[in-house]
Amino acid sequence: MVGFKNDLNIEDMLKEFRKCIIKSQKFENIDIMESMNRFSFNDVYSSIDIPAYDRSVVDGFAVNFDDVLGASLTNPVRLKVSGTVYASENTENFIEKGHAYRIYTGSKMPKNSDCVIMLEDTVDYGNEVDIFKGCFKFQNVSRKGEDLSSGQRIISSGTKITPYHIALLLSAGIEKIDVFRRINVGIINTGDELFDPDFKNTTGMMLYSLARYYDALPEIFISHDNIEDIKNKIKDALKEKDIVFTTGGSSVGEKDLVPESIESMNPEIFLHGLSMRPARSTGFAIIDKKPVVLLSGFPVASFISFSLFFNEFIKKYYNARPMRSPTVRGKITRRFTNNSGIKSLVRVKVYEKDNQIFVDPLRLTGSGILSTLTEANGIMVLDENMEGYEEGEEVTVYLTQPVGDEDKSIFPEIQFR
């Protein structure tokens, strides 16, 4: 009888994989406005203070803290109005004792003033103003350098750049940034059927789209079902690409030639075979210090393994902060049992009804069944030692797509990718 070379659990395999990935030294200098979702190559520091001066964060009256001590609705303090500071002005004003300046949000605080009384707590008579509330020092004031002080780090190496980073970098006067080069991904699909012009390489196209989804630069290679061709395609791909994925030919059949091809290429490391369903035939090798990841030819299994390995790769290659997958907890709608000794990744349909989240397990078998990937919006993990769930039990689901039907959340879609 035949079997897989290894029978690892996925955590162990990913741990070994992680050890083999070396941080990228490839970067490019690009415009800040083009940098969204790229990963910063270096730590970037501010060379200026933001704000450059103390400024008001409300509309109101800039006053001296001592002058309004004890002011209240029944005991207002009357001050002389020295003038008005508008947001766009960068003039130097000076406040005298017993005086106030009319001031707008964002405006520079006059010298000697140290807090701002909000407009709604004042009555403005033109030359004079009544103040109906005291303040504490620097209330309603944004201090010089409070947002960023000179020498402070704005972004650290390996951070994915968000719109907020872009705004902060621009406000610090930085208009170009070094980012890691995008990852070049080789996708080698094996199978004689791929050369049939009528055959649709759907697994290849899905992986191509997935790679683009991760902002990588994919290229598809197709190989016949023979060892020489597979070896040549892997060699070609390794020359130009940072990481290579193969699909098909990695199970245990007569025509499963990828593992054999890889063995013959003297890999530094080669592990394959998982105690997991789907994606049992997953594996990876390191050849010429570059990773070659073996995926199933089936869309569901290859999607799962691709995601797992590519995420690990990104983290080490870009020195990136780890990502947490969005999860929800919900009640499982039917009893679900697990094959003992095997980790199961179960596609599920998560939905909301009567303010409760329900989790409906889809079929576990059929890693060729693409439609369960579009129908499913989550993955439920059952560990090796888990027998299953009873109907109504609470389970945790990793979301792959949005949850219907009605959203009650106040902050409906803070996206992260």
CA-CA distance, 63 to 72, in Å (whole number)? 15
CA-CA distance, 218 to 208, in Å (whole number)? 6
Contact window for its own copies (CB under 8 A) among 62-70, 152-160, 262-270, 387-395? 152-160
Q: Is 410 in the site for its own copies (CB under 8 A)?
A: yes
Give least dist CB 126 to its own copies, A: 12
For its own copies, give the closer residue by CB, 123 or 269: 123
Pairing of strands 141-142, 77-85: unpaired
For its own copies, give the closer residue by CB, 288 or 402: 402
Near its own copies by CB under 8 A: residue from 2, 126, 127, 385: 2
Near its own copies by CB under 8 A: residue from 31, 73, 136, 254: 254
Q: Is 379 in the site for its own copies (CB under 8 A)?
A: yes
Site for its own copies in 72-91 (CB under 8 A): 84, 86-88
Q: Is 214 in the site for its own copies (CB under 8 A)?
A: yes
208 φψ region: left (φ > 0), alpha (ψ -120 to 50), beta (else): alpha
Near its own copies by CB under 8 A: residue from 252, 265, 342, 362: 252
- The binding track of 257-296 with respect to its own copies, each residue x by CB under 8 A or -, is ----------------------------------------
Q: Is 360 in the site for its own copies (CB under 8 A)?
A: no
Near its own copies by CB under 8 A: residue from 177, 244, 294, 373: 373
User: Taking the CB of residue 5, how many other CB atoms lie within 10 A of it?
Assistant: 13
Give least dist CB 74 to its own copies, A: 16
126 φψ region: left (φ > 0), alpha (ψ -120 to 50), beta (else): left
Q: Residue 332, class by beta-carbon neighbours within 10 Å (0-12 exposed, 13-18 middle, 19+ buried)?
A: buried
Near its own copies by CB under 8 A: residue from 74, 127, 385, 415: 415
Residues 6 or more apart in contact with residue 409 via CB below 8 angstroms: none
As given in the structure block, the two tokens for residue 233 are 């395609």
For residues 376 and 347, the answer to whether their CB atoms sit within 8 Å is yes
Q: Is 327 in the site for its own copies (CB under 8 A)?
A: yes
Q: Is 371 in the site for its own copies (CB under 8 A)?
A: yes
For residues 258 and 230, the answer to whether their CB atoms sit within 8 Å is yes
Site for its own copies in 15-74 (CB under 8 A): 33, 36-37, 50-51, 55, 57-59
- Total number of residues binding its own copies (CB under 8 A)? 117
Q: Is 94 in the site for its own copies (CB under 8 A)?
A: no
Q: Is 401 in the site for its own copies (CB under 8 A)?
A: yes
266 φψ region: left (φ > 0), alpha (ψ -120 to 50), beta (else): left
Q: What does each C-alpha distance from 74 to 14, 131, 134, 212 come to in angstroms?
A: 69, 11, 12, 65
Q: DSSP states of 276-290 as a string? A: EES-TT-EEEEETTE
Contact window for its own copies (CB under 8 A) among 109-117, 181-189, 287-295, 305-313? 305-313
